[in-house]
Amino acid sequence: MIKEKTAAAELKELDKKHFFHPTSSIKQQQQSGPAFIFTEGKGIYLYDESGTKVIDGMSSLWNVNVGHGREELGEVAKEQMAKLAFSSSFASFSNEPAIRLAAKIAEIAPGDLNAVFFTSGGSESNDTAYKLARHYWVVKGQPQRQKIISRSKSYHGVNVGATSATGLKPFRDFTNSLAPDFCYVDHMSPDALRARIEQEGPETIAAFIAEPVQGAGGVHVAPENYFKEIRSICDEYGILFITDEVITGFGRTGKLFGIEHYGVVPDMMCFAKGVSSGYAPLGGVVFSQALYEELGELSTGTLLHGYTYSGHPMACAVALKNIDIIEREKLADNAEKRGVDMLNGFEEIKAANPIIRAVRGLGLMGAIEFHSQESADGPLAPRVLAEAAKRGLICRAVVLEGQDILVFSPPLVITNNEMQEMLHILQASV
Ligand code: PLP
């Protein structure tokens, strides 16, 4: 026991000294070290080195859709690693897991989305989509179409292109050099898109990108007709429509892909996270058949874009098995049902707590928004988050652009009882 304690203390010190954490307060990390050093996961629960058990109310980073501790994913990874851990997909090289995964994604993706380009994550997927949208217009003889329009409160990742598309301004302000030709419109208004297109000149616009449900920006669900109108505006002006399904893909919202709630098909769809439930780093972009064929007429002859790990055999084998689990266990259906329970629970907590301004969600993406201006001690979300962590629930605070929100996205395997446990902790923490 003493030895374990020493090991934990040593890990904490090593973390403070050497582990430069992503999206963190660097100073706080240097001074206090990590709050949890997780060692194990099972279903919706995570365990740290001291045995503390917490509900992973965020599926870690909106991604562990099938829950923690899935041994069959470990077995697939081991088998593929032993057989062929890596080989390149550049040019005419290929491998079976990548081929089978591309075919599977083409089968389950909406409409004529048919050709899959693989990356290692969401940011790379977004940069791929912008570059190829721009290149598409070069191929089409309209090279002046270079602008990408995105939405306020959107989050598309941290590569230079993905940061440039991100509507949440603090992320853009963090870097002093962004990619050119990105502009932004109000996240809920198709009229704002039309006005912006007219203002910029339709002949200068390459694409419009949107998350079907905005995640990191505070779980904003678009009005029912929003995407139908967006699709028709894009068609009217000949603009490509890209959806960023990095969070909403693979069952999270109660359907396999978030855009399916709106009955339209994009020209490109970015994915990552839930495709492998985080068991291996993987992402990609699915292109419509028409776009894929047009890109065959590439001006350079060769596609000068590709990642070393595009089509990584082990990651693709894991993703195939992960999708198999999502389908076999009907996890999108469970997300829909438990999502209703989650929202009902949020409504009850709101009714009993006037500090809550609004609650919202779709499937297993949910948010509680506070009346932060009523609190003299600053935003409420981080304080409720700290209380929840003490009681065994981790979630995430969004304190950006005047918002004071707690967001939730538990694993899609969550049961009714587990949902009640999560809501009970939340109620006590609020
Ligand atoms: N797009 C969306 C909608 C996201 O939520 C994220 C990450 O949270 C990304 C892109 C970036 O993905 P990654 O962190 O895998 O690069």
Q: Kindly report, residue by residue over 296-330, the tens digit of the pLDDT.
A: 987 678 999 999 999 999 999 999 999 999 999 99
Residue 4 lies in a domain: no
Q: How far is CA 288 from the centre of its chain?
A: 21
271 lines ligand 1 (CB under 6 A): no
Looking at the structure of the chain, the number of domains it has is 2
Instruction: Tell me: pLDDT of 235 over 80.
Output: yes
Instruction: Give ∠ CA 369-374-380 in degrees, rounded to 5.
Output: 45
pLDDT(2) > 60: no
Provide the pLDDT confidence category of residue 176 given band limits of 50, 70 and 90: confident
- Residue 214 alpha carbon, nearest atom of ligand 1: 3
Give 216 Cα–ligand 1 centroid separation in angstroms: 9
Kindly state the greatest CA–CA separation across the chain. Answer: 70
The answer on 300 and 156 residing in a single domain is yes
For the Cβ of 126 lying below 6 angstroms from any atom of ligand 1, the answer is yes
Q: Which of 270, 305, 328 is the last residue of a domain?
A: 328
Index of the ligand 1 atom closest to the CA of residue 159: 16
> In a mutational test of the pocket of ligand 1, which residue from 61, 119, 123 has the highest number of ligand atoms less than 8 Å from its CB?
123
pLDDT in tens, 382-414: 999 999 999 999 999 999 999 999 999 999 999
Contact 108, 321 (CB under 8 A): no
- Both tokens of residue 365? 């993406």
Cα 344 from chain centre: 24
Residues 260 and 314 in one domain: yes
Kindly provide the ipTM of the predicted complex, given to two decimals.
Answer: 0.99
Q: Tell whether 255 and 343 lie within a shared domain.
A: no
Task: Answer yes or no: do 233 and 308 share one domain.
Answer: yes
Short-list 64, 42, 63, CA closest to 54: 42
Q: Which residue has the higher pLDDT, 106 or 374?
A: 106
Q: At what angle do helices 96-108 and 313-328 cross, to 10 degrees?
A: 40
Nearest-atom index, ligand 1, CA of 216: 5
Q: Express each pLDDT in 126-135 by its tens digit.
A: 999 999 999 9
Whether residue 122 has its Cβ less than 6 Å from ligand 1 = yes
pLDDT tens per residue, range 360-389: 999 999 999 999 766 678 899 999 999 999
pLDDT of amino acid 218 = 98
Residue 422 lies in a domain: yes
Instruction: Taking residues 272-295, report their average pLDDT.
Output: 98
The percentage of the chain sitting over the pLDDT mark of 70, rounded to a whole number, equals: 98
Q: Cα(365)–Cα(255) distance, rounded to whole angstroms?
A: 12
State whether the beta carbon of 218 lies less than 6 angstroms from ligand 1: no
Average pLDDT over residues 286-292: 97
Is the pLDDT reported for residue 354 higher than 80? Answer: yes
Q: In this predicted structure, which of 6-10, 146-150, 214-218, 371-375 has the lowest mean pLDDT?
A: 371-375
Give the per-residue pLDDT at 1.
54
Tokens of 153: 């409160």
CB 130 within 8 A of CB 328: no
Alpha carbon distance 198, 187 (integer Å)? 17
Say whether both 49 and 94 belong to one domain: no
272 lines ligand 1 (CB under 6 A): yes
pLDDT of res. 228: 98
Query: Does residue 4 register a pLDDT over 80?
Result: no
Compute, in angstroms, the gap from residue 266 CA to the centroid of ligand 1.
18
* Inside any domain, residue 7: no
Pocket test for ligand 1, best of 155, 220, 282 (most atoms within 8 A of CB): 155
Q: What percentage of the chain exceeds 90 in pLDDT? A: 94
Q: Which domain holds residue 81?
A: 72-328
pLDDT of 16-31, one tens digit each? 999 999 999 999 999 9
The string of pLDDT tens digits covering residues 333-351 is: 999 999 999 999 999 999 9
Same domain, 218 and 297: yes
Residue 279 Cα to ligand 1 middle (Å): 16
Mode of pairing for the β-strands spanning 45-48 and 53-56: antiparallel
34-84 pLDDT, tens digit per residue, is 999 999 999 999 999 989 999 999 999 999 999 999 999 999 999 999 999
Q: How far is the CA of 156 from the centre of ligand 1 (A)?
A: 5
Rounded to the nearest whole angstrom, what is the distance from the C-alpha of residue 365 to the centroid of ligand 1?
Answer: 15
Phi first, then psi, for residue 388 (nearest 5°) are -65, -40
Are residues 319 and 282 in contact, defined by beta-carbon separation less than 8 angstroms?
yes
The residue out of 328, 357, 391 marking a domain boundary is 328
Atom of ligand 1 at shortest range from CA of 126: 10
Q: What is the mean pLDDT of the chain?
A: 96
Report the candidate in 401, 336, 367, 430 with the shortest Cα–Cα distance to residue 57. 367
Whether residue 147 is found in the same domain as residue 219: yes
Residue 253's domain is classified under what CATH number?
Answer: 3.40.640.10
CA dihedral 67, 162, 154, 285 (to 10 degrees): -60
Does the residue 21 lie in any domain?
no
Domain match, 39 and 174 both: no
Helix axes 381-391, 416-429, angle to 10 degrees: 120
In a domain, 342, yes or no: yes
Pocket test for ligand 1, best of 246, 282, 307 (most atoms within 8 A of CB): 246
Query: 272 and 370: one domain?
Result: no
CATH of the domain at 348: 3.90.1150.10
Q: Give the residue-averaged pLDDT of 111-133.
A: 98
Q: How confident is the model at residue 214 (pLDDT cuts 50, 70, 90)?
A: very high
Say if ligand 1 is within 6 A of residue 163 CB.
no
20: in domain: no
Determine the average pLDDT of the residues in 180-204. 98
Pairing of strands 268-271, 240-244: parallel
Token pair in block for residue 220: 């904003």
What distances in angstroms separate CA 340 from CA 33, 405, 407, one per listed residue?
A: 37, 19, 15
Residue 18 lies in a domain: no
Tokens of residue 262, six digits:
């709106």
pLDDT for the residue numbered 6: 75
Which of 280, 307, 328 lies at the terminal end of a domain, its last residue? 328
Please name which of 51, 31, 30, 26 lies closest in space to residue 40, comparing C-alpha atoms: 51
Check whether residue 118 and residue 175 sit in a common domain. Answer: yes
389 lines ligand 1 (CB under 6 A): no
CB of 412 within 6 A of ligand 1: the answer is: no
Q: Are residues 273 and 355 in the same domain?
A: no
Same domain for 349 and 263: no
Atom of ligand 1 nearest to the CA of 122: 12
State which ligand 1 atom lies nearest to the alpha carbon of 157.
11
Specify the pLDDT at position 373: 64
Q: What is the 3-state secondary structure (H, E, C) of the chain?
A: CHHHHHHHHHHHHHHHHHCCCCCCCHHHHHHHCCCCCEEEEEECEEEECCCCEEEECCHHHHCCCCCECCHHHHHHHHHHHHHHCCCCCCCCCCCHHHHHHHHHHHHHCCCCEEEEEEECCHHHHHHHHHHHHHHHHHHCCCCCCCEEEEECCCCCCCCHHHHHHCCCHHHHHCCCCCCCCEEEECCCCHHHHHHHHHHHCHHHEEEEEECCEECCCCCEECCCCHHHHHHHHHHHHCCEEEEECCCCCCCCCCCCCHHHHHCCCCCEEEECHHHCCCCCCCEEEEEEHHHHHHHCCCCCCCCCCCCCCCCCHHHHHHHHHHHHHHHHCCHHHHHHHHHHHHHHHHHHHHHHCCCEEEEEEECCEEEEEECHHHCCCCCCHHHHHHHHHHHCEECEEECCCCCCEEEECCCCCCCHHHHHHHHHHHHHHC
Convert the pLDDT of each residue in 155-167 to its tens digit: 999 999 999 999 9
